[in-house]
């Protein structure tokens, strides 16, 4: 399969690369250390159209595809993952459910603002007692026939983009009934920010992604119109599985960017840092580390682009997305560790980008499906029952 970029995709990649190095890189370290959301940078990303990349122009998007989104995520993550995850979650988890499953009215109400970056959306899936077991959702929503409203109760955790000043909605998975077999029927419901009973907790104190927004959400008799149901009632589980399959491609692109960024920083450092009278890059031990880092980043890039290409062309991509996510997240952690080792003591200092990358890498083996879940999905695609 030919993964060479079209002129349009290459122009986008270069544009985001320049933005990442000229705008994000000089500023993001201060935001990161202050645990502060970079509104100025996000607004500029909105003006560039990055939040609308894979959506049709009729809804305010750029008319691009998932490959375009992945290219933008990779280039951003080469410099910083907090900014990259803000874009990834805003598009793949915030806006994509509305685009994939929303009514025409819902799309026209929400997508233009989500595509422009004027508003961020969030995806309320994970709960304190159900992470990988998303089918064990405990949040409930009952339809009050008298008022025509959903009444939602429950708690969500680790939700990205859920508490910023520009967050406009959270799509929430909730149990809305029981099937004939007694199993819970899960549906997805749009909850606008500021709805009475919808409480957003203070930001988490995190190991990494410190310039992104991550919070716990609680719902106490939250009422929203019945028309806020997203897609078909009882099909929420199937919906979020599709969203997560696509999102794994985006996370893989982000992880590849982090792996490449670790290599970029390490190559530059190895050429200038001297020890025993010469640059450390002259040592074969360092050269072999860099060669392995290059090999891994390159292979991760091929993997996510293959999955994205299959998605764009309407081909099955579940297995390829799981492979890409599993491999690229592993590579991100490997390259972050090696970059820190190459930098020595300086790699442990926050003034160096590799320290930030090291802190940001581990979550990639956990978020949007742990590495264990990816192996389970791959095994199922090979014909083995879970």
Catalytic (active-site) positions: 368
- DSSP one-letter code for 130: B
Give φ, ψ of 211 to 5 degrees. -105, 15
Handedness of CA 142, 144, 148, 154 (dihedral sign): negative
**Gap between the Cα atoms of 208 and 364, Å rounded:** 11
Q: Are strands 167-178 and 120-124 parallel, antiparallel or unpaired?
A: parallel
Give φ, ψ of 143 to 5 degrees. -90, 115
Quick one: tokens of 212? 């992104």
- Phi-psi domain of 74 (left: phi exceeds 0; alpha: psi -120 through 50; beta: other): alpha
In 244-318, the DSSP E strands lie at 274-275, 278-279
Q: What is the CA radius of gyration of the chain?
A: 21
Quick one: tokens of 307? 């999955």
**Gap between the Cα atoms of 145 and 151, Å rounded:** 11
Residue 198: beta bridge partners?
219
**Gap between the Cα atoms of 286 and 269, Å rounded:** 11
Burial per residue of 188-223, b for 16 or more beta-carbon CB atoms within 10 angstroms, e otherwise: bbbbebebeebebeebbeeebbbbbbbbbbbbeebb
């Amino acid at each position: 399969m030919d993964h060479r970029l079209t002129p349009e995709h290459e122009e986008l990649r270069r544009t985001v690369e320049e933005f990442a190095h000229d705008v994000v890189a000089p500023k993001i370290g201060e935001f990161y250390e202050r645990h502060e959301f970079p509104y100025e940078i996000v607004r500029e990303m909105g003006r560039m159209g990055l939040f609308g990349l894979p959506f049709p122009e009729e809804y305010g998007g750029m008319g691009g595809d998932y490959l375009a989104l992945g290219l933008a995520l990779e280039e951003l993550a080469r410099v910083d993952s907090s900014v990259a995850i803000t874009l990834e979650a805003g598009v793949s988890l915030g806006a994509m459910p509305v685009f994939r499953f929303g009514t025409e009215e819902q799309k026209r109400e929400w997508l233009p603002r989500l595509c422009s970056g004027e508003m961020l959306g969030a995806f309320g899936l994970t709960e304190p007692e159900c992470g990988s077991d998303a089918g064990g959702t405990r949040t409930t929503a009952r339809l009050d026939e008298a008022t025509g409203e959903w009444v939602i109760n429950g708690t969500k955790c680790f939700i990205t983009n859920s508490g910023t000043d520009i967050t406009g909605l959270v799509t929430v998975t909730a149990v809305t009934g029981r099937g004939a077999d007694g199993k819970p029927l899960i549906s997805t419901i749009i909850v606008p920010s500021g709805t009475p009973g919808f409480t957003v907790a203070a930001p988490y104190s995190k190991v990494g992604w410190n310039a992104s927004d991550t919070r716990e959400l609680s719902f106490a008799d939250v009422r929203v119109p019945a028309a806020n149901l997203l897609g078909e009632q009882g099909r929420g589980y199937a919906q979020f599985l599709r969203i997560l399959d696509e999102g794994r491609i985006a996370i893989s692109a982000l992880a590849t960017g982090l792996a490449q960024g670790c290599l970029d920083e390490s190559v530059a450092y190895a050429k200038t840092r001297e020890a025993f009278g010469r640059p450390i890059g002259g040592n074969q031990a360092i050269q072999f580390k860099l060669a392995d880092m290059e090999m891994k980043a390159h292979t991760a890039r091929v993997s996510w682009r293959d999955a994205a290409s299959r998605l764009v062309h309407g081909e099955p991509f579940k297995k390829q997305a799981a492979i890409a996510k599993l491999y690229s997240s592993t590579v991100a952690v490997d390259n972050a560790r090696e970059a820190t080792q190459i930098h020595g003591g300086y790699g442990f200092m926050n003034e160096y980008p590799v320290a930030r990358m090291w802190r940001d890498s581990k979550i990639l083996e956990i978020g949007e499906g742990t590495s264990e879940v990816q192996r389970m999905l791959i095994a199922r695609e090979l014909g083995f029952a879970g």
